């Protein structure tokens, strides 16, 4: 639980590094809390915002969006990559504009770009961090 709290305390810190363990433990606790928020939405019949999420789940998601981005950036820093790599899945989005010209080609290239970018970033998050100091700071294990 302290991994989650440490990340939330550094909710707007985009410099430095985060270890694999701290990142994935934050993701685990975040998923558990999101499920609990969804269950509370169901129990209390909170009004839905959109189609799928209720008020409690939406508020929770809004509260952890900045810490989630910040810990993702710090995790990429641990493997000596820029935080801008988080935007890689967005590369495929312009291809969806091709759907106005050619539906099959645009949807294929757009989907390939988005999922390819997502898989690449997830692989980056799973990589072992640099054991020594890099341009983003000292190793988080020190």
> Is 6 in the same domain as 48?
yes
27 and 68 fall within a common domain = yes
| Interatomic CA distance for residues 133 and 78, integer angstroms | 9
Mean pLDDT along residues 108-128: 91
Residue 142 reports pLDDT greater than 80: no
The count of domains in the chain is 2
Which residue range(s) make up the domain with 57?
A: 1-78
Does one domain contain both 45 and 22?
Answer: yes
Same domain, 28 and 88: no
- Contact in structure between 33 and 56 (CB atoms under 8 Å): no
pTM of the model: 0.86
pLDDT at site 101 = 72
Across 62-81, average pLDDT? 97
In this structure, the answer to whether residues 64 and 3 fall within a common structural domain is yes
> Span 126-135, mean pLDDT?
95
Q: What is the pLDDT of residues 17-57, one digit of tens each?
A: 999 999 999 999 999 999 999 899 889 888 776 666 788 98
pLDDT averaged over every residue in the chain: 90
**124 within a domain of the structure (yes/no):** yes
- pLDDT number for residue 53: 74
Same domain, 69 and 88: no
d(CA 105, CA 47): 39
Q: Is the pLDDT of residue 129 over 90?
A: yes
CA distance 10 to 67: 7
Q: For residues 11 and 73, state if they share a domain.
A: yes
In a domain? residue 142: no
């Amino acid at each position: 639980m302290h991994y989650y709290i440490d990340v939330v305390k550094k909710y707007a810190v985009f410099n430095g590094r985060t270890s694999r363990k701290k990142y994935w433990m934050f993701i685990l606790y975040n998923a558990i809390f999101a499920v609990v928020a969804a269950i509370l939405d169901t129990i209390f019949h909170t009004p839905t915002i959109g189609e799928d999420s209720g008020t409690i789940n939406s508020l929770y998601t809004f509260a952890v969006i900045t810490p989630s981005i910040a810990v993702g950036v710090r995790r990429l820093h641990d493997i000596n990559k820029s935080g801008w790599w988080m935007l890689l899945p967005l590369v495929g989005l312009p291809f969806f504009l091709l759907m106005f010209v050619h539906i099959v080609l645009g949807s294929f290239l757009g989907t390939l770009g988005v999922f390819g970018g997502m898989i690449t970033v997830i692989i980056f998050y799973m990589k072992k961090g640099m054991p020594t100091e890099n341009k983003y700071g000292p190793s988080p294990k020190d």
